[in-house]
Structure formats: C-alpha cells, structure tokens
Amino acid sequence: MAIDVKICGLKTPAAVNASVEGGARMLGFNFYAPSSRCITPALAGALGQLVPPHVVKVGLVVDADDAAIASILAEAKLDMLQLHGHETPERTAEVRSRFGLPVMKVISVSEAADVAAAQRFEPVADRLLFDAKPPKAMKDALPGGNAISFDWSLLQGQNFGRPWMLAGGLHAGNVAEAVRATGAKAVDLSSGVEDRPGEKSLSKIKTFLALAQTL
C-alpha cells in the first residue's frame, strides 16, 4: 500500500513539477524567514498555479501573528496552514477559525511526554505532524528540516483522533524502516530530497516518491 507524501520547502517550478508528477499528495511552502527554504508569498502564489486541485498546498509558518498569515494568504492561495512553532491549542483553534483553512499542528518529539501532549491538539487541529525536536546543543537549529530523526518507537501502538504524518530526517534509505516502526500512513520530508539545505534534488524527489508507492 502506498503511503502519502508531503514534499516541503519547495522553491522552484522544476521541484514543484517533479513532486506533482511523482505523486506527492501535499506540497509545502515555507514562510519562516530564518530558513533557507523560505519563499515570498508572491512566489508561493506563482508556484501554486502549477499545482493541480487534487494536491494540497500547505503553508508553513512559525508562531506567526494574524497579520503575517493574512499577508501570506493575500498572495498565495493555500489549502492548509502548518503551524510549526510553539502555538498553543488555543492559538491553533484561533488560526483555524479566523482564516477558515484546515490546520496541521506540528508536535516536536524527543520523549514520550511530547507524544502524549499531542492529545491537547486533537480537538483543534485537522492533522498532526510528528517531527524531531532539535537538540538544545544544536547550533542554528530550525523548528524542522534539520535532517535529524527521533526515536520512532515512541509512536508504536499509538492511536490519535486525527490523521497524522511522520517527519524528521526521512530519506529514501530509511523511510521503509520508519513506516514499519511507527505505522505511519503519511510522511513529510524536506532535507531528505535536497543536495544541500534549500536546494531540492529532482532525482531524489523522483526516487523517494517512486519508493513511497511500494510501501
């Protein structure tokens, strides 16, 4: 059974087209300024025009206020917002209500307590995404896309009231093991299909998406 894939941090028409042609179910556009994958709302809007209706366009924001989100949506027609910061359940519900879009809340994981905390977001988020929490000693760490994984056994046997995705250091060499270990039916990756941070590899995108069809 094929797993669903979200390719995040897309910046070019070529990478968008490769992701769509390879069968990605979601495409992520990054609006977090410190990230090498960050793009402007205008560019996201232009890239979004290349995306067919059946593929979900996701906007990644980190602790963004209403004005910042509104400015993004004014230029980029998105289907979902991904909250990748320290947003509370209350803020998650507020964003969902104010902007009328489904919301994916990222849960940063390093221990079992982090997974348990996801329950607080089940009533207010449309989807959960479990990503690796950056180690405190990691210099210049981003909220996600750091090419690091967490202990996948923390998700074994877990049941959630919302659809969920797995992220964190995934690539073609480890995704099969990750899916077996966690039971994930959907995965999200960025660094795993790059030649260097912020530069997508078309061949890696195609290879990963072809592999995902076999899992």
pLDDT band at 79 (very low <50, low <70, confident <90, very high): very high
Give the range of the structural domain holding residue 180, as residue numbers without chain letter. Answer: 4-212
Question: Among residues of the chain, what percentage have pLDDT more than 90?
Answer: 91
Q: What is the pLDDT of residues 28-65, one digit of tens each?
A: 999 999 999 999 999 999 999 999 999 999 999 999 99
Q: What is the pLDDT of residues 98-136, one digit of tens each?
A: 999 999 999 999 999 999 999 999 999 999 999 998 766
Tell me, rounded to whole angstroms, the distance of Cα 84 from its chain centroid: 8
Q: How far apart are CA 93 and CA 173, in angstroms?
A: 37
The pLDDT of residue 173 is 96
Q: What is the CATH number of the domain that holds 189?
A: 3.20.20.70
Task: Please state the rounded mean pLDDT for residues 136-146.
Answer: 57
What is the reported pTM?
0.93
Question: What do you get for the CA distance between the two ends of the chain, in Å?
Answer: 6
3-state secondary structure of 50: coil
Domains contained in the chain, number: 1
What is the DSSP annotation of 164-175? EEE-SS--TTTH
Is the pLDDT confidence value at 138 over 60?
no
DSSP 8-state symbol, 136: T
Average pLDDT over all residues of the chain: 94
Cβ atoms < 10 Å from Cβ of 50: 15
Buried-state track 155-167, b at ≥16 Cβ within 10 A, e below 16: beeeebeeebbbb
The pLDDT of residue 134 is 78
The pLDDT of residue 148 is 80
Cβ atoms < 10 Å from Cβ of 1: 7
The pLDDT of residue 5 is 98
Q: Encoding tokens for residue 2?
A: 């094929």
Closest CA to 187 of 176, 196, 201, 173: 176
3-state secondary structure of 135: coil
Q: How far apart are CA 177 and CA 70, in angstroms?
A: 39
3-state secondary structure of 15: helix
DSSP 8-state symbol, 198: T
